[in-house]
Each structure stands twice: as structure tokens, then as C-alpha cells.
Structure 1
Amino acid sequence: MFAAYVTVTILASVFTGIAAVTYLIGHDYPKAQADMKRVPRSWVPVLGMLLAAGSSGLLAGFALPLLGTLAAAGLVLYFLGALVAHLRVGSRQLVGWAVFFFTAVAALTVNLSYHW
């Protein structure tokens, strides 16, 4: 179980960390997604910081298990919000969302299974 916990947690942290960097450096893709979902561009850095906090929290969970659990739960909520943003504008391009969401769900699941 330990190997699954470590592998899934690191994978989820890397995925969300890469997304956070993409949002924080001002890449065009997050801006285009924000425009498509009618989210103000001023939210893009905030969303990037939330992703970075989730990514860091997952890694910090190796030392402080409660923090890792909270970070994983926060990422699940973040991606549920992303789903709402997609559906609100009628977007059916959900493959990318699904990868991130199910990675966050897997991180939460292994975290809860291993620690609690």
C-alpha cells in the first residue's frame, strides 16, 4: 500500500504542479480556457496559486498526513469547480479535466486508505 500511496501522490503532485506553473507563467492556454469559460483573466494567477498549494500540500503530506489529506480534498473540490465551469458554458471537452480530477481522487483515496 505504501508504494501505491507514494506513486499516486507524487504523480498527482507533478500533474498539478505542471498545471500551476502553466497558469503562473502566463501561458496562452490557461488564458484561452478562461476566456472560453467566461472566467475573468484576473483569476488565472489565483487558480494557479491554488493548484500550486495543492501540489505542495500533497508533498507536505508525507511529513504531515493531515495536510496531505486536506490538499487532496482541496484539489478534488477545485476540479469539481472546473467541471461546473465547463458545463456552465456547454463545453464537452472534458478529457483533460477527467485526467486531473481522477488523479486528485486517486490521491485522496490512497491518502485516506494509507493514513486513516
Structure 2
Amino acid sequence: MFIALVIATALLALLAGNSAMMKLRKNDQVVAVIGGTVGVPVSYFPVLAALEIAGAAGIIAGLWLAPLGIAAAAGLTAYFIGAIAGHLRVRDTKNLAMPLIPLALSITVLVLRLITA
């Protein structure tokens, strides 16, 4: 079970880190979808990126400190639920897969971290 947690944690940390970097670099597609379609101001991107980076660092450190891993996975789960809510609010089902995949991984990491704690 712990090996599955390590694999899911690594995948989620990579996804969250990549997502954060794309926001910090103001990638054209990210700006178009999150800024243009969903309506999140570009000035919020550094805060969103910081939350993703903190979550990624937290789940990695949480492999050794279970309470931190649980808190970080719960935070990332809430973050991606918020992202999905933002897409649904503007009826953007076309781009819904972007937050759905990391949400599924966040839930997986959370459940596995709770089981292995």
C-alpha cells in the first residue's frame, strides 16, 4: 500500500508543480482558460501557484510525516474541487479534465495516506 502512496504522491507532486510553473510563467493556454474562460484574474496566479507548490511539498514531506501528508492532500483536494467549481460555474465542460485528473490523484493520495498513517 505504501508503494502505491509513493507513486501517486510523485505523480500528483509532478502535476501540481507543472501546473504551478505554467501559472507563474503565464502560459498562453493557462491564461486563456483560467483567466479568460473561468475568469480568474491573472494577478491571482502567483497565489494559486504557491498553493500548488505548498501542496506538492507537503505531500512529499508527508511520506515521512503522516499528519502533514494528510493535511497537504486534503488541501490539494479542496484546491482542485475549487477549480472544478470554477469551471462548472461558467459551464466550461470542455476544459474540465484539467482539474479532474489532479483531483482524482489528490483523493487517491489522501485515502492512501489515511490508510497507511
TM above 0.5:
yes
Overall identity of the aligned pairs, in %: 37
Q: For residues 61-95 of structure 1, what are the alpha-carbon distances to aligned partners after superposition, in whole Å with 9 as ceiling and x for unaligned? A: 02211111101000000011011100111111212
Paired residues for 1:1-116 under 5 Å:
1-33=1-33, 34-93=35-94, 94-115=96-117
Distance 2:70 2:48 in 1: 20
The size of the alignment, in residue pairs, is 115
TM-score by length of 2: 0.92
Q: Which secondary structure state, in structure 2, belongs to the residue aligned with residue 92 of structure 1?
A: coil
Cα distance, 1:30 vs structure 2:
2.0
Amino acid at match of 1:56: A
TM-score by length of 1: 0.93
Amino acid at match of 1:31: V
8 A contact 1:72–1:104 mirrored in 2:
yes
Runs of at least 4 residues of structure 1 off by over 2 A? none
Q: Which secondary structure state, in structure 2, belongs to the residue aligned with residue 38 of structure 1?
A: coil
In angstroms, what is the RMSD of aligned CA positions? Answer: 1.1
8 A contact 1:30–1:44 mirrored in 2:
no
Distance 2:79 2:114 in 1: 18
Distance 2:106 2:28 in 1: 24
8 A contact 1:58–1:69 mirrored in 2:
yes
Amino acid at match of 1:36: T
Q: Which secondary structure state, in structure 2, belongs to the residue aligned with residue 43 of structure 1?
A: helix
Unaligned runs of 5+ in 2: none
Unaligned runs of 5+ in 1: none
8 A contact 1:24–1:49 mirrored in 2:
no
Distance 2:40 2:26 in 1: 15
Q: For residues 83-111 of structure 1, what are the alpha-carbon distances to aligned partners after superposition, in whole Å with 9 as ceiling and x for unaligned? A: 11001111112122211110111111111
